[in-house]
Structure 1
Amino acid sequence: MPPLTPPSRREALRLLGAGVTLAAGGCSKPVETIVPYVRFPEQLLPGVPVRYATALSLSGWARGVHAIAVDGRPIKIEGNPLHPASLGATDVFAEAAILDLYDPDRSRTVTERVNGIASWDMFERALSGPLATVRAARGRGLHLVTGRVTSPTLARQIDALLRDLPEAAWHVHEAVEEENAARGAELAFGRRLRALPRLDRAETILCVGADPLGPGPDQIRLSNALIGRRRDRARFGRLYVAEAALTLTGVKADARRAVHPFDQPAVLATVANVLGAGLPGPELPEAVRQFARAAADDLKAREGRALVLAGPALAPECHALVHWINARLRAPVDVIVPPDGIAGRKPSTLAELAHALDRGTVTCLAILGGDPVATAPADLELAKRIGRARFSVHAGLHGDETAGATHWHLPLTHELESWSDLRATDGTASLVQPLLRPLYDGRSLHEILPLFSSRTATAGYALVRETWKAHGGTDFEGWWRRCLHDGIVEGTLAPVLDPGEPRLIALPDLGRAAGLTVELRPDPCLWDGRFANNAWLQECPKPISKQVWGNALALSRAEAGRRGLKAGDVVRASAGGRSIDVPVAIESGVAEGVGVLTLGYGRERAGAIGNGVGADGYKVATQVASRLLTNVELTKTGRSEMILRTQNYVEIEGETKKLFRQIDLAALSKAEPKGIGADQPSLLAPWSGDKDGHAWAMVIDTDACIGCNACVVACQSENNVPVVGPEEIARGRMMHWLRIDIYDAGGPEAPRAGFQPVPCMHCEHAPCEPVCPVAASVHDDEGLNLQVYNRCVGTRFCEANCPYKVRRFNFFGYADGQPYANLGAESVKAQRNPNVTVRARGVMEKCTYCIQRIAAERQAAERDGREMGAVATACQSACPTRAIHFGDLAKPGNAIAELRQDPRHYALMEELNTRPRTTYLANLRAPNPDLKEDHA
């Protein structure tokens, strides 16, 4: 495939101008003509942001969002408060989708493997021959491969195609699949069902290998429910977690144990036996046995308000046993029919496709979306087998590994460029509407699929409307516009079923395998690898390790010591005759005999950002051991690599217990709020108050923060924060205006950790201000510590004087002339927020409490003749647990003042008397008094 070149400035402006018409039309069908700015579109005001409700997918599941466009350019993603999967918040993947839209490495045209650039007409002519062959055979030889299908329109199209060609085969592949959970439900209930835990109604929760607060399509919904319930101190409950390595859920746990994956079924069996299962008594280490018994007793005591969750790596029998346990506990779980199926059709697997390729019976192979060559189990050798198909085509956003293995590659449109529909995990449907016309010559899956049938090619807009025609009633147009406005289709929530009494399934004998066991997990920043070419996510610190630009094999300190390994040593990890070279990272909370590696790295055809970054865990995964590798051998290579961790450069000296307050729930009644300063003698002039009638402040609830990094990427998107790349990160030159520190008051084998977001403190006695020789760092009369960019001469005195390490310096013109990799392309420049200055080289920058949003609300209030209303910062809007609170202290009745009187209130390093406007609420825990915590 020939290399792709970025468009010229003239071409980029032409393409962006094409989106203006759609932006003006809002919820109507896109107009096919381009409207020049000399005839400005109606309803579109220059420079005024416009919101459109749409949905973004993750592994096929929808998260409802509001996409914000300025002058026809989408620039920011925020959550849709009406959508059950987003509830007005976002995650890192939704926030970063805006950068994927403008990715310079996106596929721009049809390509053919031998001849290079082609056209859609050329592809259709090439397709006509093999298509005629399979039509004559009633579809035999045609194989479709898709990801998870939750789109009602796409499901309808696939069903129609399979009706016309009944001998055709449909295969579904998701790299991060839920097969064990689905098979577990089948064992328990006799059919495949989907369980939706109601964490808002569960007070005692046991997670065995499960991470409900971790990355995934349900992260926002589940974390919002759990943290929302724990705000009610009477229903605070207790969270138990048994896991192989520390997760976001493990960090928030009241009681946690590092448990080997092969001991986790025994934990479930212990709980089941307390409830009367009568299973054979499992063997467990004494500390884990005590943990399991304590959790079981707590669960039993809260029948009707207790819940057990199993992780995706556990066997189907474990999931079936969890259904039995939850039935005994009368757990708050909704059971529904999976919303990602087509009635009466069970898709085939990639293994069945591999067998068909081996038999030579595949006449036409169409891989529509996804990258199965990169993410399929290594023993399938899919890249080699695809070559046996007589005709193969791949449709995708990038010319990835699968595109390199097929004869043809078709460019897909981004979800922000196309019409579609998607379902959330609870079945709720959303309409997907474009914000601009396609930047390149791409088509949606809805427009590509008719090429394989005898049906007339139809625009995606018409296909989606046809799907919902019967649902809209007599006033379809009114109903349609209402659905587009709200972002959801009412009445589509999947009905809750009574699945009946689950069967008690005996657990298989999973004797612990000799040697090291390695658990493969989706990456919290790259997911399954689909975001590998997204620079924001590559440079986003992983919540636990704070690693960027790569992955590593995480081992416990004791395990690494036994093997003579230290952090950064590169080892060859071998399993089943396959091996990869990967650096070692030493982390707290990893079980003995276990290593953990995240997926999504080591890509060869991701693009300029993602190529060659990290180690590819898929190369050692097999069909039998897709997520849990046993008997893994580690061999030293003699090489070492630097593990890039951002927290290394911002560590604040001081005791963890003082910097990050943790309070046991039982001691909360005795706690007293700590002031924002010690009022000690100061060389600074006393704070004279907020003369403009406003006093902006922020309070961050560390008990609600799950460390998901949504706020970090939201700040980057909103404020044009540049990416600096791995070489600059290695020098300590990161640029994020907001970071999330992780503190651990426990020991290496038993962490007692918590997250603390750290933006600028906006100190009333700001140490950065008096040292600036040009008054670039100044205070305004509303309590904001400002940075005047055009005054700054780059002395960096303010950075040296900041005790919180929150100021960033542009060592290079990261956003102007010296960008990392291809981030200087014209398409990337189109993403930038026009209301925020793009900083030049030699300028200091930092968090400003989103002053542009404050200014916008002030102008709107003056225009409307009213008082200023609430202002939401970008980080506050993104947070799925509403951990960040922002408001005006000078406004009577503002909740921010009440929070500063909370018994948990404290300021970071208040003894310095900087009097910060950003303050915190302490982390709460409810430890089980019967469990002794080991902090050795």
Structure 2
Amino acid sequence: MSEEVKNPNYWKSLGELARNEEYEKFVEREFPENATELNDEVSRRSFLRVMGASIALAGFAACRRPVQKILPYSDMPEEVTPGKPLFYASAMPFQDALTGIVVENHEGRPTKIEGNELHPASRGNTSIFGQAAILNMYDPDRSRYVRKDGERSSVNAFTDFCGDHFSDTAQNIAFVSEANSSPTYNRLKDQALARFSNARWITYEPFGEDNALEGTNIAFGQRLRTFNQFDSADVIVAFDDDFLNPAAAKNSEENTRRFTDGRHIESPEDGMSRFYAIESTFSITGSNADNRLRIKSSDIEPFIYALAAELSDSVSGLSAFSGISNKYSDHEWIPVLAEELLENRENSILTVGREHKPSLHAAVAAMNLALGNAGQTVSYHQVPHLDENNSREALVNLTEDLNAGRIDTVVLVGTNPAFTAPADLNFADALSGAGQVIHLSDYYDETSSLAQWHLNRAHFLEAWGDGSSYTGTRSVIQPQIEPLYSGISEIEFLNTILTGEQRDGYELVRETWQSYYTSDFESGWKQALHDGVAAEEEFPTVSVTLSDNFSSAAGDFATGSEASEGMELVIRPDSTVFDGRFANNGWLQELPKPMTKITWDNVALMSKKTADQLDVTAAGLGEAEVEVVAITVDGTTVEMPAWVQPGHADNSITITVGYGREGIGRVANKTGVDTYPLRTTSNMLYASDISVEKTGKTYEIACTQDHNTMEGRSLLRHATLQEYRDDPNFSSYESSYNAEMPGVAYAEETTGDSDPLSIFDAIDEQEYPADEPQWGMSIDLNACTGCGVCTIACTAENNIPVIGKREVSRGREMHWIRNDRYFDGDVNNPKALHQPVPCMHCELAPCEQVCPVAATTHSDDGMNQMTYNRCIGTRYCANNCPYKVRRFNFFNYTKEFLTEGDDPEIVQMAMNPEVTIRFRGVMEKCTYCVQRVNRAKIETKIETDGETKKPADGSVETACQQACPADAIYFGDLTDPESEVVKTKKNNRNYLLLEELNTRPRTSYLSKIRNPNPKLA
């Protein structure tokens, strides 16, 4: 293998690629500038007010328990053992797709969410939104009470109002709601439409699947949900579809698992799918592509039609596209893709982003049908709860009627259109034309402030409910705790409007489920609660054929589809705060975005070439003062910081929504820029011919991409599938030393002149007791997609503090596992690779040798431990760690937070009681979730009557491992030759980071393999 393949030129940022003087100064500092002290004008208390509750809830501000009198159980519940958590099956709603979860519960308070292994949508995994949901529930900034005309009221008062106001069943009522798959919710919806003769129901999501549904209607004559079975496909082609991103796909967990299953490889003889991505913005999904083409979003349309025209001569059903000629007809990718797709009939998938035009979804559906993929790799489902009408058109019509004064009452369920509706509708102003506005929501938000009645909504962990997965698997949502702020659920809210009475959600859900278990209801009900999933069939699949009028329709919309040649603006949901509903979540705000590593802000992404055209200086360093640009669309201007994204399409700028909010919470307030004003009914995905100008202003961005850099050393190894077959041992360190895992039973060590030199020659390797397990980890880079859920899961499990934008910009982020993103190749069109980096748990740990107080030591089961109350904060260990995985806790805000008037009880309830809360001045790092390890060892010892304390393989999962939807992380006992982690470490793709240092880490990696088409390499 060539030297270039063995040691590729990876780079994390433009600064590192340029290696300019500023960058060299940045990386040469032992600690980031100003990292040793807080020396700005912001006081601790004012900083706390800015950061708010989420810092405290994440572990920043509860370092001591307040002294309180408590009462013991007088009658101990049978199922409760103090200190031992209980686990309950439930489900998490996201838009209208439910994901099965299991909630860890400590003495009546939920502390952690995991995936439900029995649920087909999760199979035990979660997304970043699932992991962060626990923090949303404990957010003190959530709405705490009912309001009438802005003043505090009560549920009883609202109930009395409903009994009187809704007695007029002939009034014009408009219900506007979020998407919801709940059978109970939709039963009440049907009852409302039946009771109120002049009622209408609009389901509005800022980023929904309406275009995709309209596309299947054009192609097949009915609105169907498309489900892609990526594990069954040999060739995947994605057109601007970020299907691995939870912000862009409701079922991202299942997509990720299926996608990585189709690319799982254990030996050079194995095959794997080939994935093509055609997109404008460098997305998570695009970063995992074998071949990626960057084009403008407006160019996706002519590209798809050019491909359909190329296929039309070889397959039936695409005659409407025959003869089409446009700017992409002669593109080098078109014949290559056509050849691949024709060679893999019935084993390929084409997919397009859900925000693209219905006509594009129709064209893609027709191509999947023509290639034989429909019914094989792609299925189509009838979804009973979906509206038959276009929701965006319905919202436009409602706005017109509001402005004309034709609506008596507007009932808004969860949705926030005053913030998220297309700007040209001026929905906030239109609401003033209604007689009554009633709003149920989590926060007293932009829409709530315009309503006569605001009802505070209960979190899904506080209320009974139900729903269906993306493909229709039903589940019951079980509450884990009484509503913290006496909120009510959606179904309780609708029932009160219908009946003028209060009724418990438990009764409403059971009433719905009576029809599912007619013979033995109680048995079926209890089984559904226990398993978290009902065993009934999913949404019915449909055998599809092209509709009679498809050809004429396709001919019309495919003719003359040429994109604008001017500058283009692409508008997307944010990868961490989505459409703004998660903006007050500190864990998500501080999670570095997968491709830019920016935290706490949204930016205007552009290519290096576009930045040069605009004379915008490329941003490169973590402490980035970047230039601000003014973006104008149809006379509306928004100013926001510019950020150069390698691999972005030229003449295109991408922005995300969800930021710049006011008055909903201290974390979200004035964080980032509100970009919804640039999104209109005609520009829902992209706007053409925009104006972009420099403002002369600068703005500080907190970006982690250059933090903890390892200065160009080869840390991530990858090859093509063919290169792997030519050299199966390309990942190996060139040494006679077998580094599968030193210090354990199966390691076969040899000596020789090429053995790695130890920097601790005088130190003997530790001897371990024979009865102790020896823990190790392996991370498969071929599976890792870079989604970041491991970081959030670790944060939730280990009470890791959120520190805020200012501190992140100084390099003080506290995440115990970071997700490095590397680029490889040319700045305009690089490949991207992801690598999670936790503590390596080295056998010959450099940190242990330099600690003057022995705060970092080795355990009998081989883990590198931190004794917090022994640490005196010298930070010698962090300086001596070649992997840069140790974090120093600079601050302790306990006293200041508890005197700010918030609820210390709620703050403490969010904590995992099995993990120590660290105080100021100590070093912390990944512990391999030692609390989970010890729990399993104790349980094993009890179950075996003391014969062994080695848990069975798979009985211990770290938080990052359990959450990962790609199943990229393996953890287990290295003394068990049959364990999964040992098997992965014996794979010829296994390698150690900085193996030449001979620190002998217990965490290793499986190198990345791509399968590019050599004709496009």
State the TM-score, normalizing by the size of structure 1: 0.92
Shift of residue 166, structure 1, vs aligned partner = 2.2
- For 1:50-449, list aligned pairs within 5 A: 50-114=86-150, 116-128=151-163, 130-132=165-167, 134-135=168-169, 137=170, 140-215=171-246, 216-232=249-265, 234-276=270-312, 277=318, 278-284=321-327, 289-331=331-373, 332-341=377-386, 349-449=394-494
2:560 is paired with a residue whose SS is coil
Segment drifting more, 906-915 vs 852-861: 906-915
Q: C-alpha separation between the residues in 2 aligned to 1:816 and 1:759?
A: 31
Partner secondary structure for residue 418 of structure 1: coil
Distance, in Å, in 1 between the alignment partners of 2:418 and 2:101 is 30
Preserved contact between residue 339 and residue 426 of structure 1 (Cα < 8 Å): no
Write the distance in 2 (CA, Å) between the matches of 1:821 and 1:78.
33
Q: Distance in 2 between matches of 1:573 and 1:821?
A: 39
Whether the 8 Å CA contact 1:89–1:879 is kept in 2: the answer is yes
Deviations 1:78-102 (A, max 9, x none): 0001111111100000000000010
Which residue pairs with 1:561 in the alignment? Answer: 612
CA distance in 1: counterparts of 2:901 and 2:582, whole angstroms: 16
Aligned to 2:768: 690
CA distance in 1, matches of 2:161, 2:980: 65
Aligned position for 1:738: 817
| Matched letter for residue 868 of structure 1 | P
- Following the alignment from structure 2 to structure 1, what is the Cα–Cα distance between the partners of residues 473 and 873? 52
Query: What is residue 1011 of structure 2 aligned with on the other side?
Result: 926
What's the CA shift string for 1:336-371, capped at 9, x where partnerless? 112432699989722122111111122111111121
* Aligned with residue 980 of structure 2, among 862, 873, 895: 895
Q: 1:343, 1:324 → 2: CA distance?
A: 21
User: Which segment drifts farther, 763-772 or 688-697?
Assistant: 688-697
State the shift of 1:541 in Å: 0.6
Query: 1:14-33 CA distances to partner (integer Å, 9 max, x unpaired)?
Result: xxxxxxxxxxxxxxxxxxxx
After superposition, give the CA deviation of every residue in 1:603-640 in whole Å (9 maximum; x if it has no partner): 11331111111111211100111121222211222211
Contact 1:203 1:235 in 2 (8 A): no
State the distance in 2 between where 1:764 and 1:69 align: 35
What does the per-residue CA deviation read over 1:783-830, in whole Å, with 9 as the maximum and x for residues that have no partner?
A: 111110010000011011111110000110156756999998531321
1:750 aligns with 2:867: no
Q: Deviations over 1:570-596 (max 9, x none)?
A: 111110121211100001111111111
Tell me if 1:855 matches 2:934.
yes
Among 609, 630, 646, the alignment partner of 1:572 is 630
Instruction: Tell me the secondary structure at the aligned position of residue 484 of structure 1.
Output: helix
- Does the 8 Å CA contact 1:608/1:822 hold for their aligned counterparts? no
The answer to whether the aligner puts 1:717 opposite 2:796 as a matched pair is: yes
Paired with 2:1003 and 2:582, the residues of 1 have a C-alpha distance of 33
| Cα distance in 1 between the residues matched to 2:385 and 2:848 | 56
Match of residue 635 from structure 1: 693
Helix, strand or coil at the partner of 2:690: strand
Q: Distance in 2 between matches of 1:900 and 1:347?
A: 52
Which amino acid in the other structure matches residue 510 of structure 1? S
User: Cα offset for 1:283?
Assistant: 3.1
Compared with structure 1, are the counterparts of its residues 588 and 347 closer, same or farther at alpha carbon in structure 2 (3 Å cutoff)? closer
Contact map agreement 2:583 2:659 (CA 8 A) in 1: yes
Deviations 1:670-717 (A, max 9, x none): 221445495314325132343353211100000100111111100000
Instruction: Give the corresponding residue for 1:588.
Output: 646
Deviation of residue 731 (structure 1)? 1.0
Q: Return the offset for 1:892.
A: 3.1
What pairs up with 1:434-833 in 2 under 5 angstroms? 434-454=479-499, 456-501=501-546, 503-504=550-551, 505-506=554-555, 507-566=558-617, 567=619, 568-655=626-713, 658-669=714-725, 670-672=727-729, 673-674=732-733, 676=739, 678-684=755-761, 685-691=763-769, 693-813=772-892, 817=896, 825-833=904-912
Q: Which residue in 2 is equivalent to 1:18?
A: none
After TM superposition, the structure 1 stretch with the greater mean CA deviation from structure 2, 515-524 or 873-882, is 515-524
- RMSD across aligned positions (CA): 2.4
Q: Distance in 2 between matches of 1:816 and 1:413?
A: 30
Which digits, 9 at most, give the CA deviation of each residue in 1:259-292, with x for residues without a partner? 1122212221232123214434443369x81123
Which stretch shows the higher mean deviation, 880-889 or 53-62?
53-62
CA shift in 2, pair 1:824/1:838, >3 Å: farther
More deviation, 603-612/794-803: 603-612
Residues 13-24 of structure 1: pairs in structure 2 closer than 5 A: none
Q: How far apart, in 1, do the equivalents of 2:259 and 2:399 lie?
A: 42
The alpha-carbon distance between structure 1 residues 624 and 454, as it changes in their structure 2 partners (threshold 3 A), is same
Letter in 2 for 1:876: Q
1:842 lines up with 2:873 in the alignment: no
Question: Does the Cα contact within 8 Å between 1:724 and 1:819 map onto a contact in 2?
Answer: no
**Cα deviation digits, residues 644-682 of structure 1 (max 9, x gap):** 111221221124xx2210111012232214454953143
The answer to whether the Cα contact below 8 Å between 2:440 and 2:454 also exists between their aligned partners in 1 is: yes
C-alpha deviation, 1:41, in angstroms: 2.8
Instruction: String of CA shifts for 1:197-224, please: whole Å, max 9, x gaps.
Output: 1111111011111111122321110110
1:78·1:90 contact (CA, 8 Å) conserved in 2?
yes
Q: Displacement of 1:124 after TM fit?
A: 3.4
Q: Pick closer, same or farther for the CA change 1:572–1:427 going to 2, 3 Å.
A: same
Contact kept in structure 2, 1:241 and 1:257, CA below 8 Å: yes
2: distance between equivalents of 1:345 and 1:603? 28
Question: Aligned partners of 2:809, 2:414: CA distance in 1, in Å?
Answer: 35
CA distance in 2, matches of 1:834, 1:85: 29
Q: In the alignment, residue 122 of structure 1 is paired with which amino acid?
A: A
> How far is 1:234 from its partner?
3.8
* Partner SS state of residue 1016, structure 2: coil
CA distance in 2, matches of 1:144, 1:846: 49
Write the distance in 2 (CA, Å) between the matches of 1:696 and 1:748: 40
Determine the structure 2 residue equivalent to 1:882.
Answer: 967
What amino acid is aligned across from residue 292 of structure 1 in structure 2?
I
> Is contact 2:458-2:488 (8 Å) kept?
yes
Cα distance in 2 between the residues matched to 1:285 and 1:334: 29
Q: Is the 8 A contact 2:758 2:999 kept in 1?
A: no
Deviation per CA, 1:166-204: give whole Å up to 9, x if none.
211111111111121111111101111111111111110
Contact 1:210-1:311 within 8 A present in 2 as well: yes
Higher mean C-alpha displacement, 679-688 vs 782-791: 679-688
The alignment partner of 1:349 has SS state of helix
Q: Greater relative contact order: 1 or 2 (C-alpha under 8 angstroms, separation 6 or more)?
A: 2
SS in 1 for 2:227: strand
Structure 1 letter corresponding to 2:951: M
Q: How big is the shift at 1:328?
A: 1.6
Distance 1:712 1:575, change over 3 A: same
Q: Percent identity?
A: 36
- 1:22 paired residue number: none
Measured at CA, do residues 731 and 6 of structure 1 come closer, stay the same or move farther in structure 2, by a change above 3 Å?
A: closer
Counterpart of 1:191 in structure 2: which amino acid?
Answer: Q
Q: Hey, what's the Cα distance between the residues in 1 that align with 2:901 and 2:966?
A: 34
Q: Give the direction of change, closer, same or farther, for the CA distance of 1:347–1:801 in structure 2 (3 Å limit).
A: closer
Query: Partner amino acid for 2:764?
Result: P
State the distance in 2 between where 1:372 and 1:356 align.
16
| Total equivalences in the alignment | 897
